[in-house]
Chains A and B, each alone.
Chain A
Amino acid sequence: MLKLAFYGKGGIGKSTTVSNLASAFAANGLKVMQIGCDPKADSTASLHGGARMRSILDLVRERNNDFTLDEMVREGDGGVICVEAGGPTPGLGCAGRGIITALEKLQEKGAYDVYKPDVVLYDVLGDVVCGGFSMPMRKGYADRVFILTSGETMSIYAAANIAMAVKNFRGRGYASLGGFVLNRRNAPDEDAKAAKLAADFESTVVGALDWSETVQQAEQLGKTVVHAFPESPMAAQYRALADAVLAAAQKGDAPC
């Protein structure tokens, strides 16, 4: 089982990218579980028609611990097992602690043992703002962290912060850095900026995605590009990225 966490600045396209990777992995015959770690609970929407699904914290809120594993998941397109951690009432509670609780519930109820996914994808909220958002990179969760960025300054800055957190946690047996993914926004010199960022952390840009209207068209349909427009150039880019991520995740040090 390969467990990968995806981080990056808010709005950079993590959920879209991760969902397309999930579709691409599933199309290659892998059993995939995608876990949205964001209080908005919309990470997996494009895998099940754009509809919202009930989150783990919704279940906890309604029924404390009196629910089953089946109720925490929803099967999406291509058989991808979709999970949304969810969050507290907006403006109240603690979102980070919510992520911890949700991921612990998932483990407690035996999600990884029962579904036995080949690949688990954690799609994590914007930045590592507190202990809760480092949960997906803790021991027993993700093996590798991939960071999405564009060439825009704020995105590069956020990506560097995340990479620094991953580096600081090495002594704790947490996930190691798998690499960066460039989601192009047509900013000046963005390939060079992303390459420099990766080099600063002795890592690489494992893949790049062009800006494309096809992504928005698929989103309107409530589907991933890989699922809605499998013959499109953009779908080919996602498939290539899936291969590159898999290769990067499997090379180098054994996962922590």
Chain B
Amino acid sequence: MTLLLTRFFYMGDGPSLLRGSKGYSICLGVLLSIVSMGCPPVYAEPFSPGLVQTDGLASHVRGKVWVDALGCVACHDDGSLDKPQEFGPDLTHVGDRVRPEWLVSYLSDPHTFKPGTLMPDLVAALPSNERTETVEALVHFLMAQKAADEQSVKQTSGSVENGQRLFHSIGCFACHPYGEDLKSSGWLENLQSKYTPDGLVSFLKDPLSVHPNGIMPDLGLSHDEASDLASFLMGQSSSAKSSFQLINNKIERGQSLFGGLGCVQCHSALATERDTGNKAKLTAPSLRVVNPSKGCLSHEEGSWPDYDLSDLQIRDITAAFDSLEHLSESELIQSHLVRFNCIACHEREGVGGVSESLDALFTATDLNLGEQGRVPPSLDGVGAKLNPVWLRKVLVQGAVARPYLNVRMPRFGSAVADLVVGLFVHADVLPPVGDIEMPNQNDSRRAGRDLAGVDGMACITCHTFKGTKTGAMGAMDLTLPGQRLTRDWFHHYMLQPQRFRPGTLMPDFWPEGHSSKPDILEGNASQQIEALWVFLSDGFSIDTPKGVHREPMRLLATDAEAVMLRRSYPGIGKRGIGVGYPKGVNLVFNAEQLCLAMIWKGEFADPAGVWLSQGHGNVRPMARQQIRFPNTPQVQLLQDALSPWPDSGERSAVHAFKGYRLDSQRRPTFLYEVEGVLFEDTFRDETKGDSVWLRREIKTNAFENAGSYIIRAALGEAIIDQGDGRFRVDKDLIIEVPEGAEAWVVNGNEGQELRVRIPDSGDGKALNLNYGF
């Protein structure tokens, strides 16, 4: 183990491939340089990613991992050991995806050409001329394993950048250490010479069809994702057509060698059904009586496969032979978790978990959830936690409970599920909760719903409900516990969440077994938890607890007074000041951009978005349509009243909000500075004829005339001067300018602008504008 580790960490502290590459955040660059420290590995001997970080794993357990990974039982089968169905990749369609030139190189000298490969060299002992002929025949046979007439070599159209992002977020990195460049990774080397582009895409989309044993699990990639990933992994692959031509007699010779050499012990192929007679009757001895000085475990060449094992691997495998039937349940589970490298992401009984070098690659979609939203859970006690149906669903069907993790739990397929589900369930036990005396089912369910709602334990504050976030946190959906968990675990967990998930953000709602809701089920903790369980057990048909649907709120002016609320408004931002007036006009003033930003008629607003939950939403105006003005300062000091409207950037350096005063009806006069000069900007609701107008009076005490103070009163597609001091802005707004005021309709970059000079008045400057809408 030490040897492996040393070798693994020895090389590759050079610069990251992605350093300085465009389109990538600095953050990812940092992550990658972290990762590159841990790779790339260069092995001659077989490599299993799960065995990289397993300090403290017993020699015979490591050996068991090798026995399974190398497929010893494929030949050394005395019927006494469980025998998986598949060892190596299924070669049924290998001719569609893999290039013949690559196969020639690989089969001629697998250990040199693909360091770390688990496949033994079966031609090592042949004389060199015979070896060439053998490999050629095998390649012809393999290339005949296909459905399509011709290999497609056209480039994939995927995005390299997306592929790179996927590789470093969804979990590929857990097994495929990736460093300075792809070439230096033993596992991803030469993919462009191995695969046709289509071949790699198909493989990535459905790796279990090639590896039904689950050794390359299925990350649930969409076609586009698989294309992106393939583009990233292959770079520019050769689109030259191969000159390779199938020759029938070579195919036949290859078929016979496929059986004769023993390939068939591990691989399926179209023309060579293992179970229909072509299988070699290998007479390899039982694992119990193997002779380490001869055969696979020796360094001798001979008629046996050459695995190029290291001395440590030989020692481990030998140790495993002595204890294959005596492995404890815990050791057996360990060996599977290591073999399938579950331990790269999950810890169990002190083995595995996210390593320091990979930690930064585990990221979250929702930062609110802390570490639990980023790192996959421990598998301690998982057999007692998850019910076996769900465990299988995760492994076989790819059921997802934690969509907020960027890393994906891959689908390992039924072979792996067959291996581990029963083991987990048998190994992990919790003290049973037993029967709890409950009211009838309906009352229990109702009590559970009350507990989940805002007036109860308020589970919905943090937990998603049927895919909808009620608050800002998107913790696990409440439709899932009933499908996933065992009742025993649920009861234990509810009482002491920290005990099972150290670091969870979930408070314990029944500290010391006491309920903080004495009015529900008389405060009986066990009954309350059971009621929640009954309620949550309904899964997707679960009833909606109180608080999920935010009830709209109404914040309204009274007949006598205006109403105000400073918060975030849609399209305006967080420094909005909304005002609803008694006569039914409403506005939002943008206190960051110093402008009237929005007006509407009718009732004022629904503040639920800012008064409930964390308050991270918006105040919603209670009208379907509002009239909006650009979010940029409305008053500017200009030398030329018609010059292009100044671009103030994100925030003007020459404007400053100074507050507001309220009149006896609580109607505001906003105060702000333009280039150091204080303006007062007053908005009133005013009845004119039979309609209500918004009257604006803007004034300053400044007399200086360093230029003209111009207000850009409106911006629209079409502004029409109606000649009576009224300007029609598009179809819904009229702005009335006082007689004698200088006003212009200016064709600006974004449309037509109505500009008005703020004229001198007796004690400074003042302008009155009326908005009809």
Q: Do A and B share a complex?
A: no
